[in-house]
Amino acid sequence: MNSSSLILGIDTSCDETSAAVVADGTRILSNIVSSQVKLHAPHGGVVPELASRSHLEILPLAVGQALDEAQIRPSDLTGIAVTSSPGLIGCLLVGLSYAKALGFSLKIPVTTVHHLKAHLFSPFLEHPPIFPFLGLVVSGGHTALYHVKSFDDIHCLGQTVDDAVGEAYDKVGKLLNVGYPGGPIIDRLAKEGNPNAFSFTRARVKKGPFYFSFSGLKTAVALLVRDQGPGTRDQGLKALGHGSPVTSHWSKFIRDIAASFQREAVGALVEKVGQAFDIYPVKAVLVAGGVACNSLLREEIKILSLKRGVDYFIPTPLLCTDNGAMIASVGDHQLSRNFKAPLDSNAYPSAPMW
């Protein structure tokens, strides 16, 4: 293998078990992602205890597969990078303990990576780094806007004061009973609905101009479903073709709600990015995290950045959602600067990025 570094990246922060091998910081040799969606779907959300037990079972298999696909032996690895925060504590501890034990036995360094930093820099797995940039991290657990001048100069302009945008998508999916996780399903249904069917008041957050709030939007959808929904909740899945047919009225209603909700949720994100452009001169905008898979968000960010004359980078969907490659990439950068985790390093449910 002709590379100066070969890093194993591990992420077990939430409901995906992932292991990847990345050469020289950006060359992805393998990126195994095992989703727990089926495990949590009956509960309509992630059950932490089930998640950590599943990581324990799957992680050794995912690491084995990552090494096989990369066609390397464990002894070829030059380091291990693992997510240590933020995330579900039981889940993080599975990955961290595994990484420390493997690093100790192979006598190679381990570095701990902040999950949001990995999302923020994930577009650089596909494009050369460009600074300064605005970075929007949007996932099931986080919604935050950053002004980034270098790998170490990261300023959080604002974040959500309540629900993350992905969480709002998933809760609306639950209200409409269209399946879990709601994000990709709502995105698909929105394409068949009228985005102007319902209008929502945009939240203004007192904390600052770049803070977000999505809980009011979710409540507004809940009230619409309660007051105008033409049937019982189980008609959501039926309207998607599961079970017996339902009235076209209900079918249209959920598509219109999906489209109107999506227009507002994406509008709130893109509006703040536009306002940040006015204040912070940047060369690019980067969007990352699971919600960066969203078709409307991708389109709107593209339009906005073309209008402003800046580059935009949004990873391919596999690199938007949780994955080990983004952890390995940031880990490579940290290890090149000798940022190693001691054997007694710990995991934290939340921690600052720097």
Measured between alpha carbons, how far is 86 from 144 in angstroms, rounded to an integer? 14
Of 71, 50, 45, 115, which Cα lies nearest the Cα of 323? 115
From residue 40, alpha-carbon distances to 46, 57, 180 in Å are 5, 16, 8
Contact 265, 217 (CB under 8 A): yes
Q: Does 324 bind ligand KG4 (CB under 6 A)?
A: no
Beta-bridged to residue 7, according to DSSP, are 22, 79
The secondary structure of residue 212, as a DSSP letter, is: B
Q: Does 25 bind ligand KG4 (CB under 6 A)?
A: no
Tokens read off for 232: 């019982």
Q: Pattern 49-78, binding to ligand KG4, x per CB under 6 A?
A: ------------------------------
Per CB under 6 A, contacts with ligand KG4 among 270-289 are: 289
139/262 with CB nearer Zn ion: 139
Binder to ligand KG4 among 18, 84, 139, 334 (CB under 6 A)?
139
279/303 with CB nearer ligand KG4: 303
Measured between alpha carbons, how far is 109 from 339 in angstroms, rounded to an integer? 9
Query: Minimum distance from CB of 155 to Zn ion (Å)?
Result: 20
Q: Which does 90 bind (CB under 5 to 8 A by kind): ligand KG4, Zn ion, none?
A: none
Tell me the Cα Rg of the chain: 21
Contact 139, 291 (CB under 8 A): yes
Measured between alpha carbons, how far is 296 from 243 in angstroms, rounded to an integer? 29
Residues 6+ apart with CB under 8 A from 9: 18, 19, 20, 21, 22, 80, 81, 82, 113, 324, 325, 326, 327, 328, 329, 331
Span from 47-55, 91-99, 291-299, 303-311 in contact with ligand KG4 (CB under 6 A): 291-299
Span from 21-29, 176-184, 245-253, 341-349 in contact with ligand KG4 (CB under 6 A): 176-184
Q: Does 182 bind ligand KG4 (CB under 6 A)?
A: yes
Q: Does 256 bind ligand KG4 (CB under 6 A)?
A: no
Rama region for 241: left / alpha / beta (φ>0; ψ in -120 to 50; rest): left
Binding residues (CB under 5 A) for Zn ion: these are 139, 322
Query: Minimum distance from CB of 71 to ligand KG4 (Å)?
Result: 27
Binder to ligand KG4 among 141, 158, 315, 324 (CB under 6 A)?
141
Measured between alpha carbons, how far is 46 from 119 in angstroms, rounded to an integer? 20
Query: Minimum distance from CB of 165 to ligand KG4 (Å)?
Result: 7
Q: Which does 331 bind (CB under 5 to 8 A by kind): ligand KG4, Zn ion, none?
A: none
Q: Does 170 bind ligand KG4 (CB under 6 A)?
A: yes
Beta-bridged to residue 11, according to DSSP, are 18
Tokens read off for 173: 């999916």
Query: Minimum distance from CB of 198 to ligand KG4 (Å)?
Result: 18
Q: Which does 277 bind (CB under 5 to 8 A by kind): Zn ion, ligand KG4, none?
A: none
Q: Which does 86 bind (CB under 5 to 8 A by kind): Zn ion, ligand KG4, none?
A: none
Q: Does 264 bind ligand KG4 (CB under 6 A)?
A: no
Considering CB under 6 A, how many residues would be counted as binding ligand KG4?
19
DSSP string, 132-193: SEEEEEE-SS-EEEEEESSSS-EEEEEEBSS--HHHHHHHHHHHHT--SSHHHHHHHHHTTS
Q: Which does 293 bind (CB under 5 to 8 A by kind): ligand KG4, Zn ion, none?
A: ligand KG4
Query: Minimum distance from CB of 187 to Zn ion (Å)?
Result: 17
* Sites of contact with ligand KG4 (CB under 6 A): 14, 139-141, 166, 169-170, 181-184, 187, 289-291, 293-294, 321-322
